[in-house]
Structure 1
Amino acid sequence: MTRVAADALETQQSGLRFGDPIGCGYHWTEPDEIDSYGDSVRRLANRVELAVDAFERTATISEDVFSGEAADTLRERAGRRHEESASVRDNLRGLGRAINVYSDVLRRHRQGLEELRVFGASKGLEIRGNRIWPPVETLPGDATQKQADAWENDWKAYQECFEAKIALRDARRASTKDLVKALADYAGVRPDKDTAKLVVAQHQQVRFGDLRREAAEEAMEAVEAHDAADAARATVEALRRREQTALGDLEDLAMADAPADQIKAQADKVAALHRELAEARAEAREATATAQREQAEANRAARNLEAAEQGRPRIVGRTVPSPLPVTNLQDRLG
């Protein structure tokens, strides 16, 4: 049997492993919507500019025009307001630019996913439900050298797709962190430094920023898992209809006393569809179980955040999963 060895590819904060279907569907907010919001923030900064000018003119009124204790107080207050409004103006402009940059990142991410899908299709890989599926794990013992070479080329093409998806994901996550940093810098908000309230979990102090991020990530993973389960169920239903149609055609051939070779060919087709349907049902059950686990994790994270926001310490006990084995083609193919 031919084997293709590949280094194990470690991924963080994701269940994607080498040999799994590669998602190439875009489900984030449309870049144009984010771009429009960034433009609105920058327009607001331009409006604040009027207040900056007004406070500056008020603070610089000369003694010849307006003097006395009331004038001094007015100029002093106007000077403070000028500094505050100038800071708000600069923060809004910087925040608007950061949002616009992030919209460009999402636009490139969407384009990259589309190009990934086209590349997978050009290499002959199976694509269904916005996912690129890996080739079969094994070859029959009597496979020809031509079949073995084609199988090896398919796995190499899949590896290119997998590495491209990891690169796209890491680039998007890095830009997301940059946007969060820009939000903190320009808005002066530091959730991780909020020490007013703390919640206890696993004998540690977990800050609100961590809880919010965890809840958001778990919710997104639950959505992705449910989408995968829906796609798997749709595949099962389509295969079931195809099998029923093939069975009907086989019955018609048998009733019409068709030649034996035609009946045998149709019976082989029915058997192949039945095997494919059985595999699809197994995948659907696994996808449904994964979706249920992800939903439970999302519910747990949401309850932890709610308890923390209400000031109720919450002790969380979680079962530690067994470590996943190192996955590479050599292990998968035996």
Structure 2
Amino acid sequence: MTRIAVDRIETQQDALQFGDPIGCHYHWAEPDKVDAYGDSVRRLAAKVELAVDGFERTSTLSEDVFAGEAADTLRDRAAKRHEESAGVRDNLRGLGRAINAYSDVLRRHREGLEQLRAFAESKGLEVRDNRIWPPVETLPGGATQKQADAWESDWKAYQACFEAKIELRDARRAGTRELIKALGEYAGVHPDKDRAKLVAANANQVTFGELRREAAEEALEAVQANDAAEAARSTVEALKRREQSALDSLERLVIAEAPPEEIQAQAAKVQALHRELVDARVEARDAEAVAEREQAQANRAARNLEAAEQGRPRLVAETVAWQPAPDKDFEPADLKDRLG
């Protein structure tokens, strides 16, 4: 059985955990363009139908019309071409239908993400950088019952968004697997059965197809990692501005000798923003480290492909997955207990 690896663009979201920001931005191919491509494949099948008819008519010419050794040879060849062209026609039709079906999958996924974003905004959740952010993890000790009820309601709304995101992701991936299956069935594309020329690499052998796929995947992951690092840096800058604005508001309340409860509430807001900023800085540093590592892997894969195409063998080694050292002071928040 052919092994298929799909959805490389969302590899990082395989580990989406409750309490993480939920992505609600559609960044896949436009459904209308995919649909148009499927239609073009089916139109090509209609053109091949003309060849199918022509070969069929030629292969069934009667002896009264065309006789002799040359006629028999022509009829035999036409019969073979008829069988081949009929197979091409059927494959193109099936592939076109599969592509059209996948465009519907993408269209439903895009609409689902739009509805997810609208739902989050209607529930008062924070939506920025094309992500739905979870509520603050803790409430100040002096929070009122009304504040506690609102906090619990926000977390329940976030939980609904999280479950909807998982369902959308799984449905799109199922559609992607169906498209890949159709590609293998109708187009004969089997990534694990690449019969391309072999290139020696010490005691091992690799195929050009594998090197090309590896280079493309590593390049894509490097682009995604750099985008994630840039988004993390933007988040840090935005939180710094929000924290400074909150500090300025707290200073004005103190100078104006506002009621103690207002000052306390503003101080709690400053503390919450500061904790969020600290976490965001840690995430930004991690994202930058991942981006540097992915870029290095992409460069190495590109050099391997270039060397193979030029006939120069290179060492092929397995890379060890990097894992951050455990933080002794980190204790994961148990948000499920807070939701009851």
What's 1:189 paired with? 189
Q: Where does 1:285-300 land on structure 2 (aligned, <5 Å)?
A: 285-300=285-300
Q: Secondary structure at the match of 2:132?
A: strand
Residue number in structure 1 paired with 2:47? 47
Say whether residues 1:172 and 2:164 are aligned partners: no
C-alpha distance in 1, partners of 2:235/2:125?
Answer: 17
Distance in 2 (CA, whole Å) between partners of 1:85 and 1:313 is 42
Residue identity opposite 1:330 in structure 2: D
Q: CA deviation at 1:46?
A: 0.6
After TM superposition, the structure 1 = structure 2 runs for residues 183-222 of structure 1, keeping only pairs within 5 Å, are 183-194=183-194, 217-222=217-222
Letter in 2 for 1:62: S
| Amino acid of the structure 2 residue aligned with 1:315 | V
Query: Using the alignment, how far apart are the partners of 2:217 and 2:162 within structure 1?
Result: 21
Query: Residue 198 of structure 1 contacts residue 308 of structure 1 at CA under 8 Å; is this kept in 2?
Result: no
> Percent identity at matched positions?
69
Q: List alignment gaps of at least 5 residues for structure 1.
A: 1-10
Q: Which structure 2 residue ranges, 5 or more long, are not aligned?
A: 1-10
CA distance in 2 between partners of 1:179 and 1:89 (Å): 18
Cα 1:303–1:106 shift into 2, 3 Å: farther
1:163 counterpart residue number: 163
Give the match for residue 7 of structure 1: none
2:133 is the counterpart of 1:129: no
Q: Structure 1 residues 329, 220: closer, same or farther in 2, change over 3 A?
A: farther
Letter in 1 for 2:334: Q
Q: Which amino acid aligns with 1:96?
A: G
The question of whether the paired residues in 2 share the 8 Å contact of 1:199 and 1:313 is answered with no
Aligned residues: CA RMSD? 4.1
User: For residues 148-206 of structure 1, what are the alpha-carbon distances to aligned partners after superposition, in whole Å with 9 as ceiling and x for unaligned?
Assistant: 333333223222222221221122122112111111111123231235666899x9988
Counterpart amino acid of residue 75 in structure 1: R
Matching residue within 306, 331, 334 for 1:330: 334
CA distance change for structure 1 residues 103 and 307 in 2, over 3 Å: closer, same or farther? farther
Could you say what secondary structure the match of 1:83 adopts? helix
| Structure with greater contact order relative to length (CA < 8 Å, sep ≥ 6) | 1
- Give the TM-score of the pair, scaled to structure 2: 0.74
C-alpha spacing 1:82/1:181, structure 2 compared with 1 (3 Å): same
Match in the other structure for 2:7: none
Residue 12 of structure 1 and its aligned partner are, at CA, apart by 9.1
Aligned residues: 316
CA distance in 2 between partners of 1:199 and 1:164 (Å): 46
Residues 34 and 99, structure 2, Cα contact 8 Å, conserved in 1: yes
| Equivalent-residue separation in structure 1 for 2:332 and 2:256 (angstroms) | 47
